[in-house]
Amino acid sequence: MPISYLGFSSGILSPFSAWVTSEIKPEDATRSSSQASYLKQALATTDITVYTHTQAKNILFDEKKRATGVLVSTQGFEYYISANKEVIVSAGVFHSPQLLMVSVGFSVSKVPNCFEPTFADKRTGIGPKAILQSYGIPVISDLPGVGQNLWDQIFFDVLSGVSTPSTGDLVGNLALQPQLLQEYIQGAKGTYGSTSGFIAFEKIPGPYRKNFAQRTATIEAPFSRRNVTISSADITDPTIINIAWLTDPTDCELMAAIFKRYR
Ligand SMILES: Cc1cc2nc3c(=O)[nH]c(=O)nc-3n(C[C@H](O)[C@H](O)[C@H](O)COP(=O)(O)OP(=O)(O)OC[C@H]3O[C@@H](n4cnc5c(N)ncnc54)[C@H](O)[C@@H]3O)c2cc1C
């Protein structure tokens, strides 16, 4: 397949091959991260305050079920951060639902710059009622969808010999180095512009698709779904993750077709 010099970030995945993008800046193909690309700039241009090494333990609510702040812990020291406007939960796919489920309801007295819970014993959570109750967490809001529809892309290898050069062939070929280095230095492209190798996507050829069920023929992402749930009422305990790969027959049909294609 021809190399796409636009790369996969262009959104055009086929019929091209390309170097895999990873945590690098597209402009110069040097290492990057959320911290380098976003946080550093936000710290310089806004009045955001970052609490490092700090875990949100509970979202706090008032009697009207309004989120009013967060109970956090920094290396074992617990304190409250009150919200002027709103609490945005962005603890990722596993911990966002956990935080909702184990949260605590407080009535708060608003003192400027001070945030004192007046009755800290009212534990309440947001999520599927039966699960919360099984851990003794009273329900502030029965939302059955919290933690549900967990959906993951299964990744598996089918190994097959190819005639195209591999990353190792390119990196190990001394004669190619001037060209590869020039590609990287001048265009931030090529072998040294990627940390993850070289791949291509292939649409499963027609003969392997002809007996597919209608649902499988139109698949764009896996169908198998399950959930993430809590193992206790404590945020520091691990979540229970049910990925359920290949539990939907469509995903199995597709995987079998891919194995047949390359067997
Ligand atoms: C192996 C892998 C490969 C992936 N590949 C791709 C890809 O190629 N392309 C793509 O688009 N997406 C990819 N993803 C998905 C992508 O990484 C996620 O969709 C994205 O990172 C989600 O961002 P987020 O900010 O919602 O959560 P996250 O990036 O998970 O950030 C959540 C943050 O919250 C913190 N946190 C959790 N609990 C608490 C708490 N109680 N208190 C304080 N902080 C807390 C965590 O430490 C973390 O820093 C991949 C994911 C994985 C695991």
Mean pLDDT by 10 residues, the chain (263 residues): 78 83 79 87 94 92 84 90 93 96 62 46 76 89 94 86 82 94 88 80 88 87 94 94 94 90 80
Q: Is the CB–ligand 1 distance for residue 55 below 6 Å?
A: yes
User: Would you list the domain boundaries of the chain?
Assistant: 21-50, 52-146, 147-263
* Predicted pLDDT of residue 25: 81
User: How many other C-beta atoms lie within 10 A of the C-beta of residue 110?
Assistant: 11
Q: Which CATH architecture is the domain 52-146 placed in?
A: 3-Layer(bba) Sandwich (3.50)
3-class state of residue 79 by DSSP: strand
Contacts of 120 (CB under 8 A, 6+ apart): 104, 106
Residue with tokens 């097959």: 160
Q: Is the CB–ligand 1 distance for residue 165 below 6 Å?
A: no
Q: Is the CB–ligand 1 distance for residue 56 below 6 Å?
A: yes
Closest CA to 235 of 134, 97, 121, 119: 97
3-class state of residue 154 by DSSP: coil
Ligand 1 pocket test, pick from 23, 39, 79, 90 with the greatest ligand atom count within 8 Å of Cβ, gives: 90
Q: Is the CB–ligand 1 distance for residue 91 below 6 Å?
A: yes
pTM as predicted? 0.81
Q: Whose CA is nearest to atom 27 of ligand 1?
A: 92
Cα distance from N-terminal residue to C-terminal residue, the chain: 20
* Predicted pLDDT of residue 239: 97
